[in-house]
Structure formats: C-alpha cells, structure tokens
Structure 1
Amino acid sequence: MTDTKAEITKRLAVLVGLEVSWVSHAGDMLTMQFGPQRRHTLRGREREDGAWALHVQCDWRIERDGRAASSREDLRGADEKAHDTATRLHGMLVGQRPIKVEKLSAYDTGGMVIVLSRGYRLEVVPDGIEDDEDWRFFAPGIDAAHLVIEGGKVAAESFD
C-alpha cells in the first residue's frame, strides 16, 4: 500500500525554490504552473507551459498572512466570475514580484499545503469521494506518470 503523505512529499519536492509562473482555471478547476515557461507540442499544437503543473478539482484556498484571498467557491458559478477570479489570482501570484515555493507539507488524507513567499499559502483539501479525482501534479509535455490523488489517496495510474 502506498504511503500517500510520503508520495506527495517526494513528488512535489521539486517545487521548492520555483516561482509560480501561471495561474488560470478550467471551469471550477484551479490550474497553477511552476518554474520557467517552456515550449512543447501537445496533440500537434505548440504550447507554452511551466515546468510543473498542478490541477486542483477539490476544495482549496489561498491565504495571505492568515487571511483568505480566494477559494474554490470563487471559481464556481458564472464563467465571468471564474475568469475574473483566475485573472485576480494570476495578478497576485505572477503579475507582481516573483512568488516562490518555500516549503510544502502533505497529509495522509491526500491534502497538502504549499507555503509561498510574501505570506501566501495554498491549502488543498481532498473531497474523499472514492474514484473522484481531487488533484493532479505533472510535467506538461513530458511523457511520465502524473501524480493523481483520487478519494484522498494516490491513484494507481500515478505509477504507470
């Protein structure tokens, strides 16, 4: 049986010291990229993405100095609301001075906290619904297994 906390900690350790390089959304899914932007081809189309990507489909919140800055609820509802939230988050975390990953911690329940510079913090809290993807972490454009958390546990596909 996989040690969820240890696997998350091991895989996400590559983020420490990297800058947040993009923040966006797809529906109510938060998407973040870390590290320098690089070009690659996906399904025959040229793309530019960060070295690492995090897609969060469960509960999350971003805080600054202990105060809520945004949460999953801010991406729910009208497309315009979600777009405005993503634009605001991108401006906060990418559009100003660089925000870097300082440290991270993981939980046995598949959740994690990424501590960022300048007082920012991202907390991800899985829903715990079996066979429902909570979040995934991967290197865009690289043919390697994604770390996928489903129902608060590391999914088997994370080792393909």
Structure 2
Amino acid sequence: MINDQREIERRLQVLRGLEWSDVSRAADMLTLGFGPKHEAKNFYGVPKQVSAWALHIQCAWTLSEAGNVIATEQSLWGPDEKANEFALRLRQLLARNAPIIVESISANSDCGLVVSLSQAFRLIVAPDVTSDHENWRFFESKRDAKHLVIEGGTVASEYR
C-alpha cells in the first residue's frame, strides 16, 4: 500500500532549491510554476514560456508572507477582471522579490501541502476531503509527463 503523504513529499522534493518562477490562473484555479522556463507550444501550436514544474490548485489555499495572509483561493473569485488583476499583482510580487526559492515541502495525511519559500513566504494547500473533485495536481511541464493528482484528499488511483 502506498502512503499518500510520503508519496507526495517524495514527488515534490524536486522543487527544493528551485525558484518560484510563474503564477497564473484558469478560472478559479491557481497555476504556479517552479524552476527554469523553457519554450513550449500550447495546444494551438503557439510558442509560450513555461516553467519546468507546475502546481495547479483547485481547492482552499493560503499564501502568506512573514505570517501575514496576502492571498487565498477567494482572491480568484468574481469577475475575470478582478481575478486577472490579482494574478498580475502576484506576478509583480514575484518579480519584485525574485528569486523566491522553495526551501521545503511537507504533506499531511489529507494530502495537503505546506510549501515553505525563502523571504518568509509560505503556501498552504488544504484539499476538500469531502469532495471527489480534483483538489490539486503537480507535474513536469513536458507533454507526456505523468501527473500527481489529488482528488478528495487522496492520490487519485489512476495516477499512482
């Protein structure tokens, strides 16, 4: 039997020492990039810059700086203009404070995450264990890379 907590920590340890290099959104999903960027083509064949690793979050999350909450999943709620403005502010924060480096990753028994970053930044991801919807996913930004997917506070069986 696979221990989800250990599996998550094992898979995400590749982020340790890498720079938090991108932030974006898709509807109410927060998308974060880590590591060096490279050119890739989107599904329309248009080239774009993507980070080596991606973390897509569709559950409760909190980003704090020195213990002060600076954003939560509610930051993406509402009209697109508001959510786009938030994503822009977060990209500007990244640029002003670059580099922000991943210092450690820890997971809990509900497949939640704590990503400790340099400069006193911390990201906490709290899956909804009562739902069978996708909570978050982590993957290398290669077209055929295997994804680690968390649904309902557990590693999705098809991704083990």
Q: Normalised by the size of structure 1, how large is the TM-score?
A: 0.93
Rounded Cα–Cα distance in structure 1 between residues aligned with 2:131 and 2:62: 22
In structure 1, the residue matched to 2:66 is 65
In structure 2, the residue matched to 1:74 is 75
Q: Secondary structure of the residue that 1:55 maps to in structure 2?
A: strand
Cα drift, residue 59 of structure 1: 0.2
In structure 2, the residue matched to 1:16 is 16
Rounded Cα–Cα distance in structure 2 between residues aligned with 1:130 and 1:26: 20
In structure 1, the residue matched to 2:36 is 36
- The aligned amino acid for 1:109 is D
In structure 1, the residue matched to 2:109 is 108
Q: Normalised by the size of structure 2, how large is the TM-score?
A: 0.93
* Cα RMSD (Å): 1.3
Q: What are structure 1's unaligned runs of at least 5 residues?
A: none
Q: Residue by residue, what CA displacement relative to the aligned partner does 1:65-108 show, whole Å, maximum 9, x if unpaired?
A: 11101000011011111111111111112443310001111001
Taking only the aligned residue pairs, the percentage that are identical comes to 47
Q: Is residue 41–residue 141 contact of structure 1 (8 Å, CA) maintained in 2?
A: no
Rounded Cα–Cα distance in structure 1 between residues aligned with 2:52 and 2:11: 13
Q: Secondary structure of the residue that 1:137 maps to in structure 2?
A: strand
- The aligned amino acid for 1:150 is E
Moved beyond 2 Å, runs of 4+: 40-47, 93-97
Q: Secondary structure of the residue that 1:36 maps to in structure 2?
A: strand
Number of matched residues? 159
Rounded Cα–Cα distance in structure 1 between residues aligned with 2:90 and 2:150: 24
Rounded Cα–Cα distance in structure 2 between residues aligned with 1:8 and 1:133: 15
Q: Residue by residue, what CA displacement relative to the aligned partner does 1:28-83 show, whole Å, maximum 9, x if unpaired?
A: 11100000101123433423200000000000010011110100001101111111
1:124 correspondence with 2:125: yes
In structure 2, the residue matched to 1:97 is 98
1:54 correspondence with 2:55: yes
In structure 2, the residue matched to 1:145 is 146
